[in-house]
Each structure stands twice: as C-alpha cells, then as structure tokens.
C-alpha cells in the first residue's frame, strides 16, 4: 500500500485530526480488481488526502476482508460517508451492487447505489452498467462508468467517445449527456496471452514501445479495417522469419496489430470527429493516441484519478 501523502507530514490538531482534514465531507473510492485509490474529499470534491489500497482480487474474498481493508486505508480519516465504485460492488466484493442499464444520464450516476452502515459511516457502492453492445451482445462494466461521468463533467462534454485501454478495453459512447452504449475489446489480455504463449513474439523481444514496428502493425490493421485479425497476426511471424522485422521488435509489431484492430473496430461505431478521450496509463495513452493519429483521429488523455473522484463526487451529491 503506497500513500501519496505521508500522514506524518500533516499538522495534527489537539483532538487528533489533522487541521487540513477538517473540511472533509466524504471518502471517495475507486476500488478495482487489481488496484484501488481513495480520496478524502471536501464538499466540492477536492482531495484533502489521497491513498492507494489493494485491489479486490488480492483480498482473498469476503465481506470481512473488504471491511478490514477499508478500515486500514481510511485509518485516521474523519468518520464521514463513503462513496465507492468498481469491482468492490461485484460478486467478490464488499456488497454486490448489481447493474443499471444503458442509456444512463450522466446526472443519474448514483442511481441504484447499495447503502449500508459500517463503523459509524454510511457506505454507498455504485452499481455497474450493462448494455446490449453494437454487436448485439450483452456487455458489462463496473467502475468505468464513474470515470466517464467524471470526465464529462470535467470537460463539460455532452457527446463524445471514451476509451479505457487496459486488460479489457472499454469503448464508451456518450450521446446527449447520457452514457449511451459501450463494448469491451480484450486487447490487453489478447496481447498478453499471445506475446507469452505463441510463436509471434520471440523470447528475446524488447517490451512493446512506440516506433516504426508499432506503426507498421497499426497501419496493417487499419488497412483492413477490423477485418480478420486472425489472418493478419501471422504476419508477425513471417516478417521475423524473412528478417523484415527484427526479433526485438516482435512485441511492438504485435501490439500495433492489436491496438490498430481495436481502433479500427471502434471508430466506425461513432460518426463524430471530436477527439477520443483516453483514460489509461501514460504508456497506453501514447500507444492509442498514436494509433488514433494514424487513423486520422485526434485524442486527448484524461487523468483516471481525477475523473473517478469527480464522478464519485457527482454520485455523492446526488444520493446525500
């Protein structure tokens, strides 16, 4: 657990609470599968303190483990209500919070939250979202909806396209102030599975990085739309055998192929030409930003932490 602010650096009042925390109104928590972020917020949603915690999947499961982890991470914070989103509301979390269906007006974030009392606080957990995606399949997300709602508030946006690249990339369409629909592309998981368990990437390849090989992979996928990634992937192998691709660049080329197919599959679903809003790590923002640029589309990177906190503040204002 890494704290962004050291507790010892905060001035402490006579009553035991640091002066700087006295305007605290609620605890905001973006509590995902593998990582968690918490903020102590004032009534405008500004962070008075920020901490990181363990993801739900690392806690071993069960309500008691989640409660204990919450107590550890909020130790020393005032006993104010908490508003949480993410996998903490899933079936391995603290309380199962279900799903709300799309479309959902951004201003409705907070609807359907599960509320319960814990150690003198009211804890609210936001539901996930589900929809029928553009392929006609049911799709789900949990936590991303809060980041998108926050991003829309920060940017004053009523229409736009968001991507949250990662293990399971969520592409979310915002239309007329509503989270309209979304789909999940398993880009990150596919790259991980193929880069470690196939002949496409040699063991001595460098990690994926922007550059010529990445661009070539992106361009190849873009040239074929999202068509037949199955038939394109073998190019990683042939190019290495024929030495037109260096073995050390194998992972970058494969990454480009997959990111390019992901972008090529998503863009036609949204006719607007506004910049795509990316919420992800800096490295993934660089990759997706470059692939979008090669597809002729602008993008901008938003801070996932800022978006989540703002979304949680919106939900807190609605339910309290």
Nearest Cα neighbor of 160 from 174, 146, 172 is 174
Contacting a copy of itself (CB under 8 A), which of 51, 95, 239, 310?
A: 239
- Asked if 203 touches a copy of itself (CB under 8 A), the answer is no
- Asked if 142 touches a copy of itself (CB under 8 A), the answer is no
Element (H, E) at 195: helix 187-196
The terminus-to-terminus CA distance of the chain in angstroms comes to 30
Contacting a copy of itself (CB under 8 A), which of 209, 224, 247, 318?
A: 224
Residue span 245-264 as binding mask against a copy of itself, x where in contact by CB under 8 A, dash where not: -------------x--xx--
Q: Would you state the torsion angle of the CA atoms of residues 97, 98, 103, 104, taken in this order, to the nearest 10 degrees?
A: -20
Contacting a copy of itself (CB under 8 A), which of 87, 88, 106, 190?
A: 190
Q: Which stretch binds a copy of itself (CB under 8 A): 117-125, 202-210, 216-224, 285-293?
A: 216-224
- Asked if 295 touches a copy of itself (CB under 8 A), the answer is no
Q: Which is nearer to a copy of itself, 120 or 231 (CB)?
A: 231
| Separation between Cα atoms, residue 306 and residue 169, nearest integer Å | 19
Tell me the three state secondary structure of residue 58: helix
- Asked if 200 touches a copy of itself (CB under 8 A), the answer is yes
How many residues interact with a copy of itself (rule CB under 8 A)? Answer: 48
Q: Which is nearer to a copy of itself, 84 or 232 (CB)?
A: 232
Contacting a copy of itself (CB under 8 A), which of 1, 68, 119, 238?
A: 238
The residues with which 52 forms a beta bridge, in sequence order, are 37
Contacting a copy of itself (CB under 8 A), which of 140, 274, 286, 301?
A: 140
Question: How far from chain centre, in Å, is Cα 179?
Answer: 15
Nearest Cα neighbor of 217 from 189, 197, 198, 240 is 240
- Asked if 124 touches a copy of itself (CB under 8 A), the answer is no
Sheet holding 276-279, edge to edge: 104-105, 178-185, 169-175, 160-164, 276-279, 299-302
Nearest Cα neighbor of 51 from 7, 106, 95, 11 is 7
Binding site for a copy of itself (CB under 8 A): 133-140, 168, 183-187, 189-190, 192-194, 196-200, 220, 223-235, 238-239, 241-242, 244, 258, 261-262, 265-266
């Amino acid at each position: 657990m890494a704290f962004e602010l050291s507790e010892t650096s905060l001035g402490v009042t006579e009553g035991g609470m640091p002066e700087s925390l006295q305007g605290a109104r609620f605890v905001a928590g973006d509590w995902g599968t593998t990582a968690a972020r918490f903020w102590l917020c004032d009534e405008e949603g500004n962070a008075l303190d920020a901490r990181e915690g363990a993801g739900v999947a690392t806690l071993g499961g069960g309500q008691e483990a989640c409660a204990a982890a919450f107590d550890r991470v909020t130790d020393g914070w005032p006993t104010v209500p908490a508003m949480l989103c993410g996998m903490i509301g899933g079936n391995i979390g603290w309380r199962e919070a279900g799903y709300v269906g799309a479309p959902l007006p951004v201003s409705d974030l907070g609807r359907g939250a599960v509320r319960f009392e814990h150690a003198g606080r009211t804890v609210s957990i936001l539901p996930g979202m589900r929809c029928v995606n553009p392929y006609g399949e049911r799709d789900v997300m949990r936590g991303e909806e809060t980041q998108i709602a926050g991003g829309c508030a920060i940017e004053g946006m009523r229409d736009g396209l968001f991507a949250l690249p990662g293990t399971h990339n969520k592409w979310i369409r915002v239309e007329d102030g509503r989270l309209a629909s979304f789909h999940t592309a398993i880009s990150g998981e596919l790259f991980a599975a193929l880069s470690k368990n196939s002949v496409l990437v040699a063991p001595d390849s460098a990690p994926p990085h922007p550059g010529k090989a990445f661009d070539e992979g992106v361009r190849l996928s873009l040239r074929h739309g999202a068509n037949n990634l199955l038939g394109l992937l073998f190019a990683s192998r042939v190019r290495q055998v024929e030495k037109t691709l260096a073995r050390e660049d194998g992972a970058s080329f494969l990454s480009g192929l997959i990111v390019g197919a992901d972008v090529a599959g998503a863009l036609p679903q949204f006719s607007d030409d506004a910049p795509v809003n990316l919420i992800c790590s800096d490295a993934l923002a660089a990759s997706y930003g470059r692939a979008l640029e090669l597809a002729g589309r602008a993008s901008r990177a938003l801070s996932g932490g800022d978006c989540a906190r703002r979304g949680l503040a919106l939900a807190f204002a609605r339910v309290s």
